[in-house]
Structures are given as C-alpha cells and as structure tokens.
C-alpha cells in the first residue's frame, strides 16, 4: 500500500514524539515503521500499544507523519482516529502520551481508556500492567 497523508484523519505525532521515535528506531535492527494499536485490557477496557515493526501487514493503514512511517491495523484505526502521540520529558513524567478524542474516560495511569457506550469493542479484560485500579 502506498504511503498516504492521513495524519488529520488518523494518528499524528508531535515533533517531540517524532524525534524520540526516530532515535529509538535508529537503535533497533531491522525495523522501519512505528505500529500504533489498541488492545483489549487495562483498567478502563482498552490500552495503547506502540512498537516498531519491519513493515505494514495486509490491511494496515500506512502514512508518514513528521518523517516517521506509521502503520495502524484496521481494527485499531476507528478507535485512534484523531489521536495525537506526544513525548514528554519533565520532572513529573517521562514517556509517550496519547491524546485520544475517542476516549470518554481514561485510567489514572494514562495507558488505558474507554470508548463511548455502544461502540464496537473487542473482548476486554481487567487491569493491565503499570496501573492500579
């Protein structure tokens, strides 16, 4: 699939996130894309997944944002539409943070979220690692 400019419709990266992702990708062997996904689980129902991959899989949405090639699987895409990935490095917190307009509530840990009632959802579990209910 050809790279598409879809940053407004799907996921966008802040410049700070893109710099950190590019640096991390340079340290890894044999990776070429950032995979952004959601997974069932976490305190609130879904949790975010950020990771590196060798390339897109069949059905993935592919695009480039801030010089980083990004892929999102078709299941995750509707839940991530309009989300912004940022990287924070402050005295209080350090790491990636996702601002997702589709989340109606989030866990205190910031890694778990819930979507509007009635939205199609995968089977979800209890609290994921890194947060306490």
Contact 9, 82 (CB under 8 A): yes
Q: State pTM to two decimals.
A: 0.73
**Regarding predicted confidence, which is higher, 106 or 36?**
36
| Domain 12-115: CATH architecture, name and number where available | Sandwich (2.60)
pLDDT-based confidence at residue 129 (cuts at 50, 70, 90): very low
Instruction: Give residue limits of the domains in the chain.
Output: 12-115
Residue 76 half-sphere exposure toward CB, CA atoms < 13 A: 24
> Average pLDDT of the chain?
77
Distance CA 87, CA 102 (A): 20
Structure confidence at residue 44 (pLDDT): 59
Considering 25-34, 37-46, 96-105, the range whose residues carry the highest mean pLDDT is: 25-34
Q: Tell me: pLDDT of 106 over 90.
A: no
């Amino acid at each position: 699939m050809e790279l598409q400019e879809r940053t407004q419709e799907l996921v966008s990266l802040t410049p700070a996130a893109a710099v950190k992702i590019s640096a991390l990708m340079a340290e890894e062997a044999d990776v070429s894309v950032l995979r952004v996904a959601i997974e069932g689980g976490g305190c609130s129902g879904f949790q975010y997944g950020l990771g590196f991959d060798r390339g897109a899989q069949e059905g993935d949405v592919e695009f480039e944002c801030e010089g980083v090639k990004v892929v999102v699987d078709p299941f995750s895409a509707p839940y991530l539409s309009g989300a912004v990935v940022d990287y924070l490095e402050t005295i209080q917190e350090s790491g990636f943070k996702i601002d997702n307009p589709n989340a109606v509530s989030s866990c205190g840990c910031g890694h778990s979220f819930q979507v509007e009632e009635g939205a199609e959802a995968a089977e979800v579990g209890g609290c994921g690692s890194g947060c306490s209910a």
